[in-house]
């Protein structure tokens, strides 16, 4: 009896481990994809995965088209494991089993895992590779998505939720990743779209390619759906591990510290060499960030989307810091609709999980023009104002060069509840730049002048001296201190050290969700 029962359990486990069978596994490999089991091996610490509900079978009674085949696991692996010794929950869809489609059992397994992750207060990770809702299960499958979506929202702002798209993800299935905090994709493998090419062609008369409609490159650079793009699956899975190293397990914890990366200063060019004093000259903000922060690679979020703004995670004196910066290489660093959404959601995520914020400002304006106004720059720009004002974490701003008009206010100015605002000596803080201001203020005088060029230059110099000098903002309290560039790192370390107590609420409120991380 014992031998028979043991053999039954062993055979059932083997069937589950085989997924859809050797032929389908081989096809998965031929398509350049790993299997669900292989992905877990690269994602998690060795031998740490513990499966949950591994042998739950397909609910054949849910089919609307007669009896369907039953598979152990129903096309998704769910369970928990370790990443760098920290507990996580993970759901990995198995494309070799019924195309990874979501049926009743599949959905129940994911929903149960979401409940467990929230109860245990650990991050939850999703490895999506699915043909979408299982057609033969009809409304039964669709209702499963609703169960999953509602749990995403319930967990938002309490535990980190990260999704990797490692195959197709279409129709309603797209909204599970969209409700996560971060979406990772792989070039030439990840596909996300609400409506497939054939349906688009039947409605609009033209047939886009899969890449045009929902490829990883498109979502990374144009739609902004994707937060990180990788060349292969292994790099993507390692990227998830890296991202988690910056995040607490839940909103009851502070972010992890990394004292191993402490360094007084990175070698390299000085700040005056990196940042031209001529406001009309562009430069790359990335080397500036690298010079200020600890010598660990900057983990940039949405690197290929809204390039005029930079957001990402870094360490400052061993503390995780959310960095927001303008990028003068792109539209002069001005803020548009996409950059506004990008910054606002990143600020809100950091606020959910007690991650201090550093804002580096070199911004000429909200991007002007008919296109931006029609896209709703007022509405999108207001998201930055709301996010910064709402955020309770330590917030420090450094004005490197220009800070003009409403964009200056939006980039975490003193009146937007920044804890400290510092400025470099070359900073220009005003309603607008000198050239534009002089052109408006002295338009009639210059029109009557016999020497308009000389008079314009004189008035421009006077305006710069009287209105753009950071000493004026310092005297009025809008800048706490004008600092020398080489003092930036030490000044920030001391300021964030002082603000540390702000990030440690009393026991009664700590762990209370400040707000969710709604997609913006």
Q: Tell me which residues are annotated as active site.
A: 171-172, 406-407
Torsion angle (degrees, nearest 10) of CA 122, 128, 131, 132: 40
Phi, psi (degrees; rounded to nearest 5) at 189: -120, -45
- Rounded-to-integer distance, Cα 169 and Cα 499, Å: 43
Provide the H-helix boundaries in 101-162.
104-120, 138-155
Which is nearest to 174 in space by CA: 193, 155, 149?
Answer: 193
Q: How far apart are the two ends of the chain, measured CA to CA in Å?
A: 59
Which is nearest to 16 in space by CA: 56, 66, 67, 49?
Answer: 56
Q: Where are the beta strands (DSSP E) in 257-367?
A: 299-301, 309-316, 319-326, 356-363
Residue 319 has a CB neighbour count (10 Å cut-off) of: 22
Burial of 509 (0-12, 13-18, 19+ CB in 10 A): exposed
Secondary structure (3-state) at 48: coil
Calculate helix-pair angle for 104-120, 138-155, nearest 10 degrees: 10
- Rounded-to-integer distance, Cα 123 and Cα 146, Å: 21
- Rounded-to-integer distance, Cα 400 and Cα 361, Å: 6
Q: How many helices, marked H, and strands, marked E, lie in the chain?
A: 21, 17
- Rounded-to-integer distance, Cα 62 and Cα 44, Å: 33
Which is nearest to 250 in space by CA: 44, 513, 52?
Answer: 513
Angle at the Cα of 254 from the Cα atoms of 249 and 256, rounded to 5 degrees: 75
DSSP for 151-201, please give it.
HHHHHTTTS-EEEEE-SEEEGGGGHHHHTSSEEEEETTT-EEESS-HHHHH
Pairing of β 182-186 and β 228-230: parallel
Q: Kindly state the helix (H) or strand (E) to which residue 381 belongs, with its residue range.
A: helix 377-390
Asked whether 398 and 321 are in contact (CB, 8 A), the reply is no
- Rounded-to-integer distance, Cα 104 and Cα 133, Å: 10
Tokens 């005056």 sit on residue = 272
């Amino acid at each position: 009896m014992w031998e028979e029962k043991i053999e039954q359990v062993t055979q059932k486990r083997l069937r589950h481990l085989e997924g859809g069978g050797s032929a389908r596994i081989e096809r998965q490999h031929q398509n350049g994809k790993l299997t669900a089991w292989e992905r877990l091996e690269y994602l998690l610490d060795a031998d740490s995965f513990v499966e949950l509900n591994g042998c739950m079978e397909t609910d054949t009674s849910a089919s609307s088209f007669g009896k369907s085949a039953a598979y152990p696991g129903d096309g998704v692996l769910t369970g928990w494991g370790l990443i760098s010794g920290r507990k996580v929950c993970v759901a990995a869809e198995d494309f070799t089993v019924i195309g990874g489609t979501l049926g009743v059992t599949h959905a129940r397994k994911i929903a149960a895992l979401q409940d467990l992750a929230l109860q245990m207060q650990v991050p939850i990770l999703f490895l999506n590779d699915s043909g979408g809702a299982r057609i033969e299960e009809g409304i039964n499958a669709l209702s499963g998505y609703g169960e999953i979506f509602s749990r995403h929202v319930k967990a938002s702002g309490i535990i980190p939720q990260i999704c990797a798209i490692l195959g197709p993800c279409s129709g309603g299935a797209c909204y599970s990743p969209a409700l996560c905090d971060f979406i990772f994709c792989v070039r030439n493998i990840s596909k996300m779209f609400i409506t497939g090419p054939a349906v688009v062609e039947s409605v609009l008369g033209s047939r886009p390619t899969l890449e045009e409609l929902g490829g990883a490159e498109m979502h990374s650079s144009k739609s902004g759906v994707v937060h990180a793009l990788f060349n292969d699956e292994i790099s993507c899975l390692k990227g998830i591990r890296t991202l988690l190293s910056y995040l607490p397990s839940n909103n009851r914890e502070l972010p992890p510290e990394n004292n191993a990366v402490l360094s007084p200063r990175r070698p390299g060019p000085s700040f005056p060499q990196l940042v031209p004093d001529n406001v009309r000259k562009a430069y790359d903000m990335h080397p500036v960030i690298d010079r200020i922060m600890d010598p660990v690679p900057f983990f940039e979020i949405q690197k290929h989307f809204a390039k005029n703004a930079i957001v990402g995670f870094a360490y400052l004196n061993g503390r995780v810091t959310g960095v927001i910066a303008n990028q003068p290489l792109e539209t002069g660093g001005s803020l548009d609709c996409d950059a506004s959404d990008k910054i606002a959601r990143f600020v809100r995520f950091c606020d959910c999980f007690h991650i201090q914020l550093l804002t580096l400002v070199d911004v000429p304006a909200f991007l002007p023009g008919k296109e931006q106004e029609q896209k709703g720059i007022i509405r999108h720009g207001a998201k930055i104002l709301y996010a910064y004002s709402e955020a309770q974490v330590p917030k420090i701003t450094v004005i490197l060069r220009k800070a003009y008009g409403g964009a200056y206010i939006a980039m975490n100015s003193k009146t937007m509840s920044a804890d400290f605002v510092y400025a470099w000596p070359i900073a220009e803080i005003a309603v607008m730049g000198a050239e534009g201001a002089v052109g408006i203020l002295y338009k009639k005088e210059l029109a009557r002048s016999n020497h308009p060029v000389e008079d314009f230059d004189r008035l421009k110099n006077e305006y710069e001296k009287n209105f753009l000098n950071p000493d004026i903002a310092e005297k009025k309290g809008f800048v706490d201190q004008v600092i020398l560039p080489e003092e930036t790192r030490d000044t920030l370390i001391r300021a964030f050290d002082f603000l540390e107590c702000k990030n440690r609420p009393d026991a009664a409120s700590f762990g209370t969700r400040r707000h969710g991380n709604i997609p913006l």
